Structure 1
Amino acid sequence: MKNVQELNQVSDFVKREYDSLAQNGASTLCCSPSDTYTPEELAGIPRIVLELSSSCGSPTKGLELYPDQTILDLGCGAGLDVMLLARKLGPESHIIGVDASNNMINVAKSAALEAGIPNAEFRLGDARDIPAQDHSVDVVISNCVVGMFPDKEKVFSEVYRILKPGGYMVAIDTIFSKKNSESFDELTSQDWAACIVMMSEEEYTMKLLSTGFEHVDFRDQLIVPYRDGNEITSAKIFAFKSK
């Protein structure tokens, strides 16, 4: 991918792919949430959400999060992580899900109503133009989404913009390993939609630091299975904004 037109073509394809998945009611991409979350955690979540959700890890596991924080899930899909977090933190919490797929947002809104989770809010929007005000969010989470964007700098810049001073992003994302290396220019739009595109830890860190983040930390690197039987390397990536 070498120019703006090609980057936009990839992004448009990814959006159409996820719109189609939501319409069909099942995902064939990435990893099943049953590989990440316990049956107890997934209990009460509408089946359509589980069928449509993809997950290479839990971005919120082990985090100290509080009901008075504003938390935004970037690329929320059918809303699984938003609903799990809203249910965990209680009705006083404010959890926002943002996704570029109108069909996914509609599924998420309906599912939240069905599950009785009124504090889960969903907004239609692009990760490179997040529908949130400057300095309005305490924590941004993302679950295997950033890897689908060829122009990751735009995503990181938007995350930095909406975070409050002292806020942070925690993203589960794919990272480079020899087993799944590809030439950047040989990747297809389907590769991007399947979130198999990855950078090295060093490249990822440099892009985040150049955006303005003060500190970047990689944790919990794992080999995780895809639904199609392939495996990828994922990591939990923290990026902290200065106070």
Structure 2
Amino acid sequence: MPPRRPSVHCEPISAAATRSLSSAYARGRSSWNWAPRAASKVLIAAGRVGPLGTAYGLDSNMEMVELSRRNAAAAGVTNAEFLHGSIEAIPLPDEAVDAVISTCVSNTAHDRLGVLRDAFRVLRPGGHLVLVDVVTARPLDATQRAAIEQRTICVAGALSIAAYHAALTAIGFAGGAITLTAQHGDDVRSAIVQATKPNLSTSPPSGLRPGNVG
């Protein structure tokens, strides 16, 4: 039997990642967390957003969704909701949440652009994206990706750092920042990805720029 390929692990999350994730939660707001895995991260988010906010969790495994719901009920948490679906097609309406958060889930998706586009869709203007993901330091062709995948999974859909920045900008995010963390060899890195959906209402209307008023 061939040896099992290790996945690219982002855990334990670095102190920098913890600070980034914590700053994305705000009391009275709504947060979205991919793949709750028995609810622990979503329950933490529910406590941080407070009773006036809502924490959502998503999992592609319905059994995990049901387990998460039971765990939330047992913990007496009423402001957490768990949904069944795909991270490329989040089952929420447009502009539904203030933060989209993921720790080592987006790196399992082969369609990173689809993940980022749908995250942008569900974010409200001014909302924050915080992902712990996997990136490559340089572009990889199909042959190089296949060779790396023989030793470690979760790389097939990884974007290069430059392509990630370009994708965030093209989709409409502002303030994109990628902080490299763990090194996995072959120019494969874990990274903290942060960006914001612009709040267009904060921009002065045309003709009302500072210095032009009055």
Q: TM-score range by the shorter chain?
A: 0.7 to 0.9
- Segments of structure 1 that go 5 or more residues without pairing to the other structure are 1-27, 39-56, 226-231
Deviations for 1:117-142, whole angstroms, at most 9, x for unmatched residues? 22111010111111111111111111
Deviations for 1:97-148, whole angstroms, at most 9, x for unmatched residues? 1121112212211222222222111010111111111111111111111111
Normalising by structure 2, report the TM-score: 0.73
Over the residues paired in the alignment, what is the CA RMSD in angstroms?
3.3
The size of the alignment, in residue pairs, is 188
**1:117 alignment partner AA:** V
Q: How big is the shift at 1:72?
A: 0.7
Q: How big is the shift at 1:217?
A: 0.9
Deviations for 1:4-42, whole angstroms, at most 9, x for unmatched residues? xxxxxxxxxxxxxxxxxxxxxxxx966596x3499xxxx
Between the aligned partners of 2:122 and 2:10, the Cα distance in structure 1 is: 29
Corresponding residue number in structure 2 for 1:218? 178
Percentage of matched positions with identical amino acids:
24
Between the aligned partners of 1:92 and 1:151, the Cα distance in structure 2 is: 34
Corresponding residue number in structure 1 for 2:191? 235
Change over 3 Å in CA distance of 1:131–1:59 after alignment to 2: farther
**1:201 alignment partner AA:** I
DSSP 3-state at the match of 2:159: coil
Q: How big is the shift at 1:199?
A: 2.8
User: Is the 1:67–1:94 Cα contact (8 Å) retained in structure 2?
Assistant: no
User: Is the 2:99–2:128 Cα contact (8 Å) retained in structure 1?
Assistant: yes
Q: Which has the higher helix share?
A: 1
Corresponding residue number in structure 2 for 1:122? 82
**1:97 alignment partner AA:** G
User: Is the 1:59–1:171 Cα contact (8 Å) retained in structure 2?
Assistant: no
65, 72, 77: which one aligns with 2:32? 72
**1:137 alignment partner AA:** V
Normalising by structure 1, report the TM-score: 0.65
Between the aligned partners of 1:160 and 1:93, the Cα distance in structure 2 is: 20
Between the aligned partners of 1:60 and 1:137, the Cα distance in structure 2 is: 17
Between the aligned partners of 2:107 and 2:162, the Cα distance in structure 1 is: 15
Deviations for 1:168-206, whole angstroms, at most 9, x for unmatched residues? 21101122259xx982244659954xx345332212111
- Higher mean C-alpha deviation, range 208-217 or range 126-135: 208-217
Q: How big is the shift at 1:215?
A: 2.9
Q: Which has the higher strand share?
A: 2
Change over 3 Å in CA distance of 1:167–1:82 after alignment to 2: same
Change over 3 Å in CA distance of 1:70–1:217 after alignment to 2: same
Between the aligned partners of 1:187 and 1:89, the Cα distance in structure 2 is: 40
**1:223 alignment partner AA:** A
User: Is the 2:102–2:131 Cα contact (8 Å) retained in structure 1?
Assistant: yes
User: Is the 1:31–1:224 Cα contact (8 Å) retained in structure 2?
Assistant: no
**1:238 alignment partner AA:** Q
Between the aligned partners of 1:199 and 1:156, the Cα distance in structure 2 is: 12
User: Is the 1:73–1:96 Cα contact (8 Å) retained in structure 2?
Assistant: yes
Corresponding residue number in structure 1 for 2:209? none
Between the aligned partners of 2:31 and 2:38, the Cα distance in structure 1 is: 17
